[in-house]
Structure 1
Amino acid sequence: MLIYSTFRRLDNTMLKLKNPELIQSFIRLCIGGLTYVYITTGIESEYFIASQNTIFYFSLFFFGLSIVNILSILWIPSSTPRRYAMLAFDIGVTTFASFLSGGLNSVYILVYLWIYIGYGSRYGINFLSVAVALTLLSYNVLLLTEDAWHLLSLEAIAFLLIITALPAYLYSMQKRLMKMATQADSKNIAKNEFLHTMAQQVNSPMGGIVGMTDLLNKTELNIQQKQYLQSLSQSSQSLQEIIEDIVDFSRLEKADIPLNHVQINPRILIDGLVHSLAPLGYEKSRELTYYINSSFPNEAYIDAQKFRQLLSNLIRYAIQHSASKSIYIHAYAGTINANENLNANIEIQFQQSTETEPLQPNKMPNTNETLPLRISYQLTRLMNGLFEIQTNENQDVIFNLHFNWEKTRVNYKLNKRIHNNKRILIFDIDKVNLNVLEKYCLQLDMEVYTTSGHDNLIAHILWSQEKAQLFDIIILCEDIKHKHYHDLVNRIRNETLCNAPILYATYMHSIEQIAGKNLEGIQATILKPISLDILTRTLADLLLTRPLELKTPENTLPTLNILIAEDYETNASDAYEHLTNLGHNVDIATDGNTALYAMNKYTYHLVLMDTSMPSLDGIEATKYWRFLERGVKRTPIFALMESATDQTRDLCISAGMDDFFSKPINELQLKDALSKHFTQIDGTVAHNAP
């Protein structure tokens, strides 16, 4: 809170330092100091005839009144009477300095021009007129004191003409500039009206979408449909925020944005916003991870729409300009001040891309691509908050938001009776998300174990079985690369015979991919980024369900000898990994000729044959092998195809192939195919001919 108050005072001080009157006062002090040195040196060298006492009292008067003026500006930043008074003061001291330093021959005669040009351009025609009148009066005083009208009449008249003509030209130029500014304002007003009209036209159908979404939400839906609908609703809100950005951009220029304070739950607001923006992040391979500390309030009296818009702008900017896949949002609360206000803080951390102009700490950039940051900065100030840009030791950019909110009477509480002391194992290769999940489960008073390696996960389960301290739940988190862990689920169920419920954390687009057979062995799914409230309810449901009854297959296949004929190394490696995980012996051939040589030399239960290999493709190799094996036991051959068209299937069947796979293949497909084609009879492998 002390840091927040200090920053607010510094912010107000910086605004005062940007006051043009204050800047002019400092320039006046500098010129006064140089004048004192210049005239004093001239008096000492007897170049000027004035006395030291005169320049001393003159300087004392000048600096004293200048300092009083600065204090007045700090107290009252804007005052028209003070400006007129200082105009008269400037012309008066300039006249006296000219009198002390040579009269009409003094260099300070030129300061007259600087004075009325400065006042006229800064404050307008009224100040320009007064400045010209005072300058003419002061210059005539100098002429009369030196009786110069008789000696230097031509020079005096010429300078008076300059003093009179130059302001007229300056006034004419100001009028042209004002006309151009008025035209620019008119165009800007027209642009703002156009944007406002377009925003209203877009907002009307958006209102229909939001309304129909609300109606649909009242119907009976399953969990998956509710998750879809929630994302649709949140995405609609995000689109409405973009529309509000368009409208507020024009309003910010006029400082005309009203605030509508209502009592909301900021935890739910942040949760919904992050989930609505998560699909945008996935499109760019950026994963949003957020952690809301237990200290963060669940009630606040703020403008919910502006607060959501502010956060949305910053998170969208992070998604667009992040160099790494991880974007981390952290919400927490600080101390409570004497006014019972709570210091609420939100941090958004990401690694900035090198393709964009780097952001500097505590410096607001002024480019087109940083428009969302400028809007967020203005919105934060509007909400009496503080917006900072910082960097850490890893050169990550951190957007820091600080707000003073009234302390609420309701504290955030979790219903953790069911979760208390339950053992949970969490798997995630993303260290940030793994850390957040661990914190959430610790908030539920659970006994938490974490790992990021496949073998380590299996080792944890085996260790728990050995110690008779079984895990109550296992959480598997999908990676941003969209790789589903079917193989890992199979290892958990088959290799360790673990029957603990598995909660699978996935992305919105992946729900359909894990439907049907892929859900085998998984008891529940949860969308990433993970919400604490949804996690709490889902874990409670799983803990209340009966343990999974694992089915032991009646006919367990023995180890098969399998040959993979595939020229593309990645595909061959994937198939090799899947088959060895299932416990089979595997060889690899990189072309048709090598495959025929291996099949002739060794006995295989199955051959997986790529249909498009160099030198000799899989179809021709199969035809040749079927010719060679006439009269002996038939070797099953499965085709590996890039695209399973009817024409390609017909070619494979005519060549003598037994089944087909479209690449890439997964372990579940292989397992189903092997179960379909092979059985064990009296310990012997038998092929079920089609």
Structure 2
Amino acid sequence: MSWISCPRNTGETSKKTLQQACKGNPLHYEYRLTHEDETVQYLYLRGNVTFDEKGKPIRINGIIQDITDRKEVELKLQETVERYTSLKKYNHDAVISLDLNGNIIHGNIMAEKLTGFSIKELEGMSLSRLVGTTNLRKILKESLNDASIDNNINSIKHKEGHLVEVITTIAPIIINSENVGFYVIAKDITEQKKLLIAKETAESTNRAKSAFLAMMSHEIRTPMNGVIGMTDLLMESTELNEEQKEYVHIIRKSGESLLNIINDILDFSKIESGKTTLVQEPFNIRVLVSETVDLLTAKAAKKGLKMAWSVSDQIPYVVIGDAERLKQVLINLIGNSLKFTFSGGVHIEVGSKQTSGKCIEIECAISDTGIGIQEEKIDQLFQPFYQLDHFMTRKHEGTGLGLAISKKLVDLMGGQIWVEPHGDDPGVTFKFTVIMDLAEPEGELREDVEAAEHADQSRRLNILVGEDNETNQLVIRKMLEKQGHAVSMATNGQEVLEKLQYRKYDLVFMDIQMPEMNGIEATRIIRRTFPPDHMPIIVAVTANALKGDRELCLASGMDEYITKPLKSAVLAEVIDRFFGTEKMHV
């Protein structure tokens, strides 16, 4: 009977099958045979066992059939089914299968979570009960032609009664070229909708914030223009005794302090919102440092402090970057050092850290002999609104934004900023790096600078001022007349147009916000309708200082943009820019 024993390498299943056949059960068995070349063959064994008179198995009669081809087809089908089942089971979206009438056949686990019904409860239920639509059959029929069609199924009713917002896709089930049902794939977008609402709310808040800042900038800067401008005129045109000079000086200092606070808040807001962009222009870094020091020399002299600066020979004559932003950082840091230094002075040193390709990394160091900084407070220095002394007892004015703004500007310019204490020695050193582009050739810029320095400054211009505020009218008129110019006034854009029709003006200072017709609209009309020989230079004057204002003004046809409060030096600089080499006569 050994020939009835199981073949070599036969598994436990085949052994049990043979054992059952020897007990009189039918013999049906599929066998997977792996050959030495690792090819696989599937065999099907079918037969009957013959028993002797004592009931012992003596022979097996049957056939062995090669079913490899059929088995491979079955395995591929099984793989397809299992892939579909896994996709349906583990899908993050609800998948519901329907018959042709829209009745639910089956669903996955996510369908249970989305609807609150178990799969057993869903089976046989009409989908219209969940989606609340009366034209479900029409929607299903239309999906046969276009699965992407808007099906208007935007929500599903939960078992507990509330609606769940969804995005749905309907896909037909096609078997043997025949539509036998549909799949509905529903994605719960409740959280996404909340995020979208939060995003829209934040954007709306930012727009409101920008509008508020623009309004506050205009409303505060306009009267500040009058305060600072009139104090300038008062000090220049009136013989004041020492006590009166002190009063005027206090008024001006208070006005400038308020203006600095406004500038800091607007600057920080623009940087925080990501709306600050850098201007890449060639400039002379030595001239920039010199101008910056000149701006602060009077402040240093008043405290009896010395100021010195140096620029390494390794720094090229011309670099390309945002000169105004670099100057702003220097002013903030030097001004901060002057604020906390009471003896000795401040030294500014500019050197080249490294040069790579067409870029140069510049390192600036501002050292002072002031009160210094405790090491444990250094990490907090660049935080917004942080100040070393407590606000209830502090002696130093300011918003606490200067260093925070400096850090963000330095970051924008590809650099870093840090503090180096002097240990037991007095004072502290602020250092920062910025990345600038190299410019070639340098000769032309040097010639331009020298030419500008020797430009003819004598001219008398016909100037028209568009300004509706009476105080500002007086301020700007007096400033321009003291520079020797003939000045006419207009209170709105329409009046500007009328005056330009009857007289030729060299220059128009145009306030943006005026009643009846604003300055931007008036400028567009001037550029569109006036002949070239009657076209004046137009300079925007605005109390706003927000991102986009300058671009908007220049896009409308204006030649330059300045912000209030106006100063005589700023007006003279703008005039010199456009008329420095000309001699204009009334």
Q: Shared fold (TM-score greater than 0.5)?
A: no
Q: TM-score, normalised by structure 2?
A: 0.33
More helix as a share of residues: 1
Q: TM-score, normalised by structure 1?
A: 0.29
More strand as a share of residues: 2
Rg larger for: 2
